Amino acid sequence: MRKRSRTVALTILGAASFAVAGCREEQVDAQAFPDLASCQAEAANGGLFTAEECEAAFAEAEALHVEAAPRYESLEVCEEQHGQGNCGSEAEQVSNGGSGSIFMPLLAGYLIGNMLGRAGGGMAAAQPMYRNASGGFTNAARTSSFSSNSGRGTMGAQQFTRPASTVGKAPMSRATATSRGGFGSRTGSRGIGG
């Protein structure tokens, strides 16, 4: 009788461990680059990504930048959120037009994630990176802050969630940006090592 209880207890413990492991977010090997040339140089030295993946990720990050970058009603509000000299007009950054009176942060790098846990691996996604007011960097989804726009690390796949589009929506005013706690300030901080 006692032996059976021990077996049942071990079975329950094993099932609980399996259930906890099943709830863990998928982890992604990721690397940040300040520009396409840096990614391609890393690819030439046996980096995490190939030169073709660098080009595809950079194109995806640029498209996401145009679609989902935060938009502000003035240059002053944008620079309060992203730092002096880190913003430009929408018209300067969007190739198919855009308003000269709406301002967006400049693309300050891009983040690429690789899904190693999936069969066959493959590139997960790319995210544009922006400067934040504290001198660090953040992704477009505002889910993470980084101390640098270069380096490698492991992070949850949720970091690559596609942010909502900001095209055609009212740009943020100072009050709106402040009520949200500032761009990139509501997130957890992450370090990406080189």
Reported as a single tens digit per residue, the pLDDT across 53-107 is 999 999 999 999 999 999 999 999 999 999 999 999 999 988 877 778 999 999 9
* Whole-number pLDDT of residue 82: 94
pLDDT at residue 130, rounded to an integer: 95
9 vs 123: CA distance, rounded Å: 41
Beta bridge mates, 113 = 30, 125
CA distance 111 to 163: 14
- Report pLDDT digits (tens) over 137-147: 998 877 788 99
Q: What is the pLDDT at residue 31?
A: 92
Separation of CA 60 from chain center: 12
> What integer pLDDT is reported at residue 184 of this predicted model?
52
| pLDDT above 80 (res 170) | yes
pLDDT reported for residue 114: 83
Prediction pTM value:
0.77
Q: Which pLDDT does position 68 carry in this prediction?
A: 93
